[in-house]
Structure 1
Amino acid sequence: MKQLIVIAAIALSFAAPARTQPLVDPNKVAPEYREAAEKRRAEQLRQRECAIKADLEKVLPRDRTAYLNHCLDMMAAKQ
């Protein structure tokens, strides 16, 4: 049992940390894809803003998806 714990600890120490998806930079893509990159960046910023609101309001993990969907719908309705 002790060996299993040691092996698990070693495996976890070498695991790379999970990173979030970086924001798209429209200036680093080919000109023909720039418009799509700008739209993707705007969507990423809206999603990030809703996620920050969810964190500030301390939304439970089980309710987070519904909250984010509602937030994104409300932002789309405002535009």
Structure 2
Amino acid sequence: MKSFIFVAAIALLATAPARSQALVDPSKVAPEYREAAEKRRAEQLRQRECAQKAELEKVLPRDRTAYLNHCLETMAAKQ
């Protein structure tokens, strides 16, 4: 039983932590895909901004999706 716990502990320590998706850098993308990369980066920035607003307003996890969707819709309407 001790060997099983030891192996499980080693397996947990060896795993890498999950990280969020990095922002797309259009300068590191092939020229034919640069326009799409710029659009993706703009969308990622809008999503991050809405997520930060949700954090500041302390939106509950159960309401977060609705809040983020509403925030993204209002940002799209402004543009």
- TM surpasses 0.5: yes
What amino acid does structure 2 have at the position aligned with 1:11?
Answer: A
Count matched residues.
79
Segments of structure 1 that go 5 or more residues without pairing to the other structure are none
Distance 1:2 1:66 in 2: 47
In the other structure, the counterpart of 2:58 is 58
RMSD: 1.5
Aligned to 2:13: 13
CA drift at 1:6: 4.7
Partner of 1:46: 46
TM-score by length of structure 2 reads 0.88
The CA distance in 2 between the partners of 1:58 and 1:4, in whole Å, is 41
Q: TM-score, normalised by structure 1?
A: 0.88
- Kindly state the Cα deviation for residue 11 of structure 1 after the two structures are TM-superposed: 2.6
